[in-house]
Structure 1
Amino acid sequence: MHKYFSTIMEYITNQYSNESLLIAISGGQDSICLVKLMNNFDLKEKKCKQIDYIHIDHQWTKESKKQAEYIISYLKSLRKKVSIYQIKKTSLSEKISRLYRYHIIINHAIRYKYRIVLTAHTKTDKIETFFLNLIRGTTTEGTTALNLCRMIGHKTMLGRPLIYMDRQFTKFICRKYFLPLWSDNSNYNYSIKRNRVRNELIPYLRKYYNKKIDNNVLNFLNNCKYNNEYIKQKIIKTYLQHKHDKYVALNHKCLKKQHIIMQVKIIQFFLYHSINLFINKSRLISFINQLKKVKDKKCFTLVSNNISILGTNQWIYLRYHNISILNN
């Protein structure tokens, strides 16, 4: 158990050995389990220069202040430093709350120069996130949102060392070591969609459709992950083959031989790589269809207030105000 966790942590910390590490915790069983496992890992391995904690209080319940005090007391008993942030503007929207939370955590990490940020997400959270994204109308890229680690900016890594473990595992750890847990009433507030997915939808599917729904979803997500990686590599390779050697432009004559979805993704990558701007699929499909009709003439679509993307039979390029980046 601890050996398996140590193997995952060694993989996460391999690129940033002997660096400061920040752990975001909520006070629930997953967070307290992560605190215990990290404490044991630190005592044995000594891989990190410093391990600190951060807690974000969303003020969803009247007991949130007491919960923050409990977290401070528990980490103080372990001689660990913790930073508490309180969000004054209360919101029950998971999306808005997540944006607030990650904004605070990332800014804190950058300000105090933490190279690694850890969260206590488990594979149970991964399954719940999949259903939430599916209901919202996600693509296959959106299904694989929670992975072991990813970069935040250029210098900070976000890691999820419990992502291969489920909530039953964290519950077992908490009981085995008699860890203090705080019962959070907000977990039973069904105005929060995740709670309804966790407590109603998934148990219903498990009982009436497939007992192995959890494993099947995880297998599907794993397949999506590898498919997405292949598609991304294909997009980058094709983009490098079709981009102009000197100007900010794409060779439309060669690009139009690709499948329309590949054309959309390559143009999206071209825009993001050139001007750090994302354009949705429907607008780009409309632009590509316009290009097919005009043939020898130019067509354009506005991508921002002062930038437009222009296309001819030969090139797709950008125009800033009235100055063409590529004079066709």
Structure 2
Amino acid sequence: MNTYIQKKFNKKFNKFILKYRLQAILIAISGGQDSICLIQLIENFQKKYNQILKITYIYIDHQWTQNNQQQIKHLINIIKKTTKQFIIYQINQSVHSELQAREIRYKILIQHSIKYKYKYIMTAHTQTDKIETFLQHIIRGTSLNGLTSFNEYRKFNNKIYLYRPLLEFRRTEIKWLCRKLHLPIWSDITNYNYTINRNRLRHELIPYIHKYFNNNIDKKINDFLISSKMENEYITQNAIKLYLYSRHRTSIALNYKLIYRQHIALQIRTLQIFFLSFKTKY
């Protein structure tokens, strides 16, 4: 397959494997079109590059719907053709909060990665997910750190990292590729449950903004997030320098007079680093 999406993915994924000398990766899938597309992209990549890479797919079933067993069978049939290992975790407790469900998923993924010595977890998040997360953070209230936290790479701890190779692609591009390749997409009924805030954003708020305010809002928000990330990194780097320069050599303390002369943004960020460092050590 020679589409621009496959070419771009191949270039990014190959660079990622070579840079980190990757031998194994855990891929978290949800069963939707983004996950199915990611599976196909990886399979096409391996056929072209003949990379010796241990790939394991993992699915976490919250058992939210009555037809979740059919969805699992659907995924099994797809992954069976790849001859890759497929791990399924089922959540028995009743969870209806999107935030709580995400926390449970990541906890399972991290525990599984530590137990079976996977250093990298891959997900099928797209640029559209990034935009939706941005709007959720704005509504809930957040900081510059929170706005720019949804990145291609994320560090969970010193051993486990998250990688999102599709973050530069929009959901419409993924949908186009799925149709072009005739991929078997499962229609998840929970995506139309409007008690879930993300679904309301996806099906009501974002289309409304597109129609009545800016039909290019996705690009505008993405550009804003890119510039915000650069500004946030600049503030963080200077805050780290200020923290290292102002901290006491032996006591748990900072030089108040030195910090007070700096901009309020640096003061706040330096104190955050100080308390985080204190929490980590003690």
TM-score range, shorter chain: over 0.9
Partner of 1:190: 194
Q: How far does residue 245 in structure 1 lie from its aligned partner after superposition?
A: 2.2
CA distance in 2, matches of 1:273, 1:47: 40
Q: Kindly provide the CA deviation profile for residues 172-228 of structure 1, in whole angstroms up to 9, marking residues without a partner as x.
A: 111111111111000000000000000000000000001111111111111110010
Q: Which of the numbers 235, 240, 246 marks the counterpart of 1:236?
A: 240
Q: Which of the numbers 198, 210, 217 marks the counterpart of 1:213?
A: 217
Q: Which of the numbers 158, 176, 179 marks the counterpart of 2:162?
A: 158
In the TM superposition, what are the counterparts of 1:60-75 in structure 2 within 5 Å?
Answer: 60-75=64-79
Q: Aligned pair count? A: 278
Partner of 2:145: 141
Partner of 1:269: 273
Aligned alpha-carbon RMSD (Å) = 1.5
CA distance in 2, matches of 1:198, 1:152: 27
Partner of 1:252: 256
Q: Kindly provide the CA deviation profile for residues 280-301 of structure 1, in whole angstroms up to 9, marking residues without a partner as x.
A: xxxxxxxxxxxxxxxxxxxxxx
Counterpart residue identity of residue 87, structure 1: I
Secondary structure in structure 2 of the residue aligned to 1:247: coil
Is residue 181 of structure 1 aligned with residue 217 of structure 2? Answer: no
Is residue 58–residue 86 contact of structure 1 (8 Å, CA) maintained in 2? Answer: yes
Is residue 225 of structure 1 aligned with residue 229 of structure 2? Answer: yes
CA distance in 2, matches of 1:46, 1:158: 24
Counterpart residue identity of residue 168, structure 2: Y
- Which structure is richer in relative contact order (CA contacts within 8 A, separation 6 or more)? 2
Is residue 16–residue 115 contact of structure 1 (8 Å, CA) maintained in 2? Answer: no
CA distance in 1, matches of 2:124, 2:236: 28
Is residue 80 of structure 1 aligned with residue 78 of structure 2? Answer: no
Is residue 18–residue 47 contact of structure 1 (8 Å, CA) maintained in 2? Answer: no
- Can you give the 5+ residue segments of structure 1 that lack an aligned partner in the other structure? 278-306, 308-328
Counterpart residue identity of residue 82, structure 2: L
Q: How far does residue 63 in structure 1 lie from its aligned partner after superposition?
A: 0.9
Ranges of 4+ aligned residues in structure 1 off by more than 3 Å: none
Is residue 123–residue 163 contact of structure 1 (8 Å, CA) maintained in 2? Answer: yes
Q: How far does residue 97 in structure 1 lie from its aligned partner after superposition?
A: 0.5
Larger relative helix fraction:
2
Secondary structure in structure 2 of the residue aligned to 1:30: helix
Q: Which of the numbers 202, 207, 226 marks the counterpart of 1:203?
A: 207
Q: TM-score, normalised by structure 1?
A: 0.81
Secondary structure in structure 2 of the residue aligned to 1:22: strand
Q: How far does residue 160 in structure 1 lie from its aligned partner after superposition?
A: 0.4
Is residue 171 of structure 1 aligned with residue 175 of structure 2? Answer: yes
- Can you give the 5+ residue segments of structure 2 that lack an aligned partner in the other structure? none
Is residue 33–residue 173 contact of structure 1 (8 Å, CA) maintained in 2? Answer: yes
Q: TM-score, normalised by structure 2?
A: 0.94
Secondary structure in structure 1 of the residue aligned to 2:144: coil
Q: Kindly provide the CA deviation profile for residues 65-98 of structure 1, in whole angstroms up to 9, marking residues without a partner as x.
A: 2111211121012211110011111222110010
Larger relative strand fraction:
1
Counterpart residue identity of residue 171, structure 1: K
CA distance in 2, matches of 1:242, 1:18: 39
Percent identity over paired residues: 45
Q: How far does residue 153 in structure 1 lie from its aligned partner after superposition?
A: 1.1
Q: Which has the larger radius of gyration?
A: 1
Counterpart residue identity of residue 256, structure 2: H
